[in-house]
Structure 1
Amino acid sequence: MTPDAGERLVDGYSLVVFDLDGVIYLIDRPIPGAVEAVGRLHAEGRAVAYATNNAARRSSEVADLLTGMGVPATPEEVLTSAAASAELLAERLPAGAAVLVVGAEALRAEVSAVGLRPVASADESPAAVVQGYGPQVGWADLAEASLAVRAGAVWVATNTDRTLPSGRGPLPGNGSLVAVLRTALDRGPDVVVGKPEPALFATAARRAGEGRALVVGDRLDTDIEGARRAGLDSLLVLTGISDASELLAAPPERRPTFVSADLAGLFDPAAVVRVPGTPEGGGWSATVTDGGGLALTGAGRLLDALATLCAVAWAADADPVVRPDSSEATEALVALGLSD
């Protein structure tokens, strides 16, 4: 079932908030169709924003990166966990306070920009530790952070993404590095700023004024959960981390409003589906098997098959192992990555 038969999804919203990695680009390459989709939004005069947990680039750097890919963007349209973390620390600490930065140079720059003093050693008695992803972060950095937190520094994590997408597959993200300190300290961060916390999306949504905002993301555990916490509708695109199997197993707080293969779902009613569907819909029928898995039969649109499976899996808390009971179902499950 599409949002409303014949209507474009984007027409129901005054602002579209995009995640970046896995939605607009993978590392530094645009995802096919993303440049065209954002260009179309601009051509129609629609407001856009970008909310990213990536703390390795400043807002201006992200805007430059997007512009270089053919997606014109301004720093004001970009909301990063690095900038949000620095702003939070500036609200809590006196001007000039020392902050131990574990992460990329962009995070240090954001800390400096709000009037705080970045340091690299626990010996400088930092009032806080801010931890974000950086490809050069190593044991020595984590050791200094551990010492500082044990000495009483506030521990702020820009985000806790376990992985980040790449063209070669998921790679360790900041959450994996946070987990190292969590193990060493036997506790978690005092504050996590990025998604799934709602702050980034709530800030973006305020720009929509009286209108509605739609969040577009590729991760159930950050983008979609963050949108739900912020009270916003969400579109899951299957171009990044989360896949159909993860969607079927998603707990209530991580279930999107809509699903599409890519950003074409914003404009083409046939390329998006509302989830969950119904146990019988769009030519498909799904049931729970005796073994606690799912069975799919029928024929129809691929996304309708996924919506039908979501309806049964979510209602029954079923195992996301699906058995095909028709040749068309076999083909659909292969296309969705749900075949054995």
Structure 2
Amino acid sequence: MKKNRNFLGNYVDMCTDFGMKLYFGPDGGKPNLINFLNGLFDGEKIIKDLEYRPAEHNGTQDKDRKVVFDLYCTSADSSHFIIEMQQLSQEFFKDRTVYYTSRLINKLVPRGHKGNTYELPEVYFVGILNFVLDRSIPNQYYYDVALCDQQSKKVFYDKLGYKLLVLANFNKEQYEIKSYMDMWLYLFRHMEELDEMPKFLDNRVFGLIFDIGKVANLTESDMKLYESSLKNKRDAESVRLTAIKEGRREGMEEGMEKGRLVERAKAEAEKLKYALNLKKRGLPLEDIAEDLGLTVEQVQKLK
């Protein structure tokens, strides 16, 4: 087992399901989650305390599918936070985030009250993504999404938000990191590679992370859970890299095929041009067609 622990590095990978629950879950991770959310919201909201809520949510009707969040909690001002780690891209990922928040909002609507009271609490979806969300924007690693008016660009409804962190697009070096959000992103990217806490991190905010994240302190049962979780993450990475390679290969093959089609089109155009010249010289149409592999009808139409 000691060999395995050395192989796994000094600190638990934050981007595993096990790591998410270890660092941010209800068993000692609340201060980390508060610090993480405060770093992410950067003064937009000040979160002083959190209460963890059940992660499983059944629908209001039997036909509704059950949803399970990685982490779900509320703050002292009754704001609701869904925190999700997503390893692989999904075709309808954006739809799923909207569905998750919609299901939660629907569950929070007061029932059994007369009148037109539809006041809702604030709901936020926080996504930590291990894939590129939009390949047309290769350098954007933070998406701050809200309901906005397209004309004025002002926020239309400020009680629903989606904050997405794209880890694959975050490539800052230590000397480039200034904000707390960047510090968290750096840890998500590099935690399992570190030997100790980097000096640029604030010990008051990140000290607990490095205290509870030591692989050497895991129990035997936790080690098994972590190894399984780490395998799932690495399997997902393998699938993602294979998809990227296949996409590149398909792109190259498509490009080569387009090139061949262009060359064939050019050759066909040259052949028709030559046939037209022969036709203008008065050569028999049948002879032109036979020599150039054309039909007599094709030669007749040349002008």
Q: TM-score, normalised by structure 1?
A: 0.27
Identify, as 1 or 2, the structure richer in helix. 2
Structure showing greater radius of gyration is 2
Normalised by the size of structure 2, how large is the TM-score? Answer: 0.29
